[in-house]
């Protein structure tokens, strides 16, 4: 295999951090494998002193095989053999290894089991059932369940819980309504004040309409709507939907196009927004009770089985590695840290990588392949990191695509540049492909 000049650059520049951000099938993992081999052969680094991380079990097994094959080709058998126990794994595999070694420090049973997605889901469902049953016993809880529907509420809670843990919260909780209210009301009007103003405006509109000599149908409808205002607003801030009953009809009648009518309509819409926020706010504390109730039960069910889910692995390994003595030991142990599929990292995983990486961190990824938000991945973080490294000339890209035929690439480029606009990076076919396409097309020209 002949490396392209871009690949050669990314392979040979092994001092300092570097991010290789390139499209699908452009030979990124090939570069990572080659850097591993050169680190062993040219830089005399032990196979055991290189940490390589990727994001699925399948990718990790493939990567180990590719590294072994390459080492066998360029080095002696012992280096290839050493890949057996090497640190080539998923981030969760790495975390589990760290936690087994430091189980005591982490306060864990060293024989903990790692729950797969299916097992974790079962426990989550049981925890959620119990938390919802408990919540339904109090009035606000029953209201919340009725308002959202159990199914929407279930996914809202598990998604929020997962997202907050991926952002690093050990015991997820929502902001209190008081905190949100305080932030929201800085400079904004309260729904209560808006309601009082609407009552006054309704009275003014009523006075204007009462003076109309021969009220038409629309004006009569408007008078009826204004008569309902007191009742609708009597019990405090109403639900947004109730405000439909006190809308002024549009219409062409001059009496409905006065300044007072305009003010009434604007204030009504403002109240609709504020009322929605107010009711959501009232639910926030109840949602938090549900979220925490769920979290506690889920944690308890895991404890009973000595089971850890993927987020536990990450969060607990992070705590262990944050300890200065332990963190330093890992940073000293790994001369090189390499991460494939970096676009799939979330905040906690990135923190973990930074905790173990010393100076020469090599990251590979493709922002365009992260549109699915794998496991709360946060592609923004990847982009930010890329921008920072670009400023010091430590970001590279690869333009050639080795996997696909030129015609397919042309179609893909057209489709995606339309869908993704300026963010899209077109793929180029490999030199061999370019020449095949030319030969195939020649008779046609």
Is the CB of 29 or the CB of 370 nearer to Mg ion? 29
Residue 341: which residues within 8 A CB-CB, separation 6 or more? 54, 55, 56, 59, 364, 365, 369
**What does the block give as tokens for 195?**
């309601």
Is the CB of 83 or the CB of 124 nearer to ligand ATP? 83
- For 30-83, the DSSP string reads HHHHHHHHHHHHTS---GGGEEEEESSHHHHHHHHHHHHHHHHHHS-HHHHHHG
Among 6, 17, 26, 376, binds ligand ATP (CB under 6 A): 26
Is the CB of 23 or the CB of 293 nearer to Mg ion? 23
Q: How far apart are CA 84 and CA 71, in angstroms?
A: 12
Site for ligand ATP in 348-407 (CB under 6 A): 366, 402-403
> In the bound complex, what is the minimum distance in angstroms from residue 28's beta carbon to Mg ion?
5
Q: Indicate the burial class of 42 (C-beta count within 10 angstroms; 0-12, 13-18, 19 or more).
A: exposed
> In the bound complex, what is the minimum distance in angstroms from residue 17's beta carbon to ligand ATP?
19
> In the bound complex, what is the minimum distance in angstroms from residue 100's beta carbon to ligand ATP?
29
Site for Mg ion in 9-68 (CB under 5 A): 28-29
Q: Does 343 bind ligand ATP (CB under 6 A)?
A: no
Backbone torsions φ then ψ of 364, nearest 5 degrees:
-125, 135
Query: How many residues line the site for ligand ATP (CB under 6 A)?
Result: 15
Q: How far is CA 1 from the centre of its chain?
A: 37
> In the bound complex, what is the minimum distance in angstroms from residue 27's beta carbon to ligand ATP?
3
Q: How far apart are CA 4 and CA 254, in angstroms?
A: 75
CA atoms within 13 A on the CB side of 389: 21
Contact present, 132 and 125 (Cβ < 8 Å): no
Query: How many residues line the site for Mg ion (CB under 5 A)?
Result: 2
Q: What is the 8-class DSSP label of residue 395?
A: E
Q: How far apart are CA 127 and CA 122, in angstroms?
A: 9
Q: Does 30 bind ligand ATP (CB under 6 A)?
A: yes
For helices 5-12 and 28-41, the axis angle rounded to 10 degrees is 40
| Cα Rg, the chain, nearest whole Å | 31
Residue 305: which residues within 8 A CB-CB, separation 6 or more? 113, 115, 123
Q: Does 7 bind Mg ion (CB under 5 A)?
A: no
> In the bound complex, what is the minimum distance in angstroms from residue 424's beta carbon to ligand ATP?
15
Site for ligand ATP in 415-434 (CB under 6 A): none
> In the bound complex, what is the minimum distance in angstroms from residue 335's beta carbon to Mg ion?
23
> In the bound complex, what is the minimum distance in angstroms from residue 329's beta carbon to Mg ion?
30
Q: Segment near ligand ATP (CB under 6 A), from 25-33, 103-111, 255-263, 275-283?
A: 25-33
Is the CB of 59 or the CB of 408 nearer to Mg ion? 59
Among 4, 105, 218, 397, binds ligand ATP (CB under 6 A): 4
Is the CB of 10 or the CB of 233 nearer to ligand ATP? 10
Q: Does 97 bind ligand ATP (CB under 6 A)?
A: no
Is the CB of 26 or the CB of 90 nearer to ligand ATP? 26
Among 6, 21, 28, 233, binds ligand ATP (CB under 6 A): 28
β-strands 113-114, 307-308 pairing: parallel
> In the bound complex, what is the minimum distance in angstroms from residue 431's beta carbon to ligand ATP?
9
> In the bound complex, what is the minimum distance in angstroms from residue 29's beta carbon to Mg ion?
3
Among 8, 24, 241, 393, binds ligand ATP (CB under 6 A): 24
Is the CB of 24 or the CB of 147 nearer to Mg ion? 24
Q: Using CA atoms in the order 294, 297, 302, 303, what is the torsion angle rounded to 10 degrees?
A: 140
Polymer length of the chain? 445
Q: Segment near ligand ATP (CB under 6 A), from 18-26, 150-158, 305-313, 435-443?
A: 18-26
Contact present, 94 and 119 (Cβ < 8 Å): no
Q: How far apart are CA 106 and CA 109, in angstroms?
A: 9
Among 6, 7, 195, 267, binds ligand ATP (CB under 6 A): 7
Footprint on this chain of Mg ion (rule: CB under 5 A): 28-29
Footprint on this chain of ligand ATP (rule: CB under 6 A): 1-4, 7, 24-30, 366, 402-403
């Amino acid at each position: 295999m002949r490396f392209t000049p871009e690949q050669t650059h990314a392979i040979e520049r092994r001092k300092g951090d570097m991010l290789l951000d390139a499209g699908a099938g452009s030979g990124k993992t090939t570069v990572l494998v080659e850097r591993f081999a050169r680190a062993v052969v040219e830089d005399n680094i032990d196979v055991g002193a290189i940490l390589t991380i990727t994001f699925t079990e399948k990718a990790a097994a493939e990567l180990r095989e590719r590294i072994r094959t390459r080492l066998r080709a360029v080095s002696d058998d012992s280096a290839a053999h050493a890949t057996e126990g090497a640190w080539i794994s998923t981030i969760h595999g790495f975390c589990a290894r760290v936690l087994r070694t430091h189980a005591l420090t982490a306060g864990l049973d060293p024989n903990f089991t790692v729950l797969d997605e299916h097992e974790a889901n079962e426990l989550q469902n049981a925890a959620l059932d119990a938390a919802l049953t408990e919540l339904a016993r109090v009035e606000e809880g029953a209201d919340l369940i009725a308002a959202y529907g159990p199914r929407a509420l279930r996914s809202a809670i598990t998604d929020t819980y997962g997202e907050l843990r991926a952002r690093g919260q050990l015991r997820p909780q929502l902001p209190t309504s008081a905190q949100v209210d305080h932030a929201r009301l800085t400079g904004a009007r309260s729904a209560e004040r808006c309601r009082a103003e609407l009552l006054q405006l309704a009275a003014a509109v009523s006075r204007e309409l009462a003076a109309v000599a021969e009220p038409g149908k629309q004006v009569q409808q408007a008078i009826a709507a204004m008569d309902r205002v007191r009742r609708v607003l009597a019990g405090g801030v109403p639900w947004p939907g109730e405000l439909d009953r006190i809308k002024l009809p549009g219409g062409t009648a001059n009496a409905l196009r006065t300044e007072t009518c305009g003010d009434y309509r604007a204030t009504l819409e403002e109240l609709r927004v504020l009322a929605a926020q107010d009711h959501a706010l009232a639910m926030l504390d109840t949602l938090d009770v549900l979220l925490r109730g769920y979290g506690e039960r889920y944690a308890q069910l895991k404890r009973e089985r000595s089971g850890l889910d993927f987020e536990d692995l990450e969060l607990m390994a992070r705590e262990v590695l944050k300890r200065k003595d332990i963190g330093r030991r890992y940073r000293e142990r790994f001369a090189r840290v390499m991460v494939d599929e970096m676009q799939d990292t979330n905040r906690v995983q990135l923190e973990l990588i930074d905790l173990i990486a010393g100076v020469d961190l090599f990251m590979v990824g493709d922002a365009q392949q992260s549109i699915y938000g794998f496991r709360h991945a946060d592609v923004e973080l990847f982009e930010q990191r890329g921008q920072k490294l670009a400023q010091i000339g430590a970001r590279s890209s690869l333009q050639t695509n080795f996997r696909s035929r030129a015609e397919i690439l042309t179609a893909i480029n057209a489709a995606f540049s339309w869908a993704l606009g300026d963010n899209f990076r077109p793929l180029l076919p490999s030199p061999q492909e370019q020449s095949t396409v030319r030969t195939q097309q020649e008779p046609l020209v």
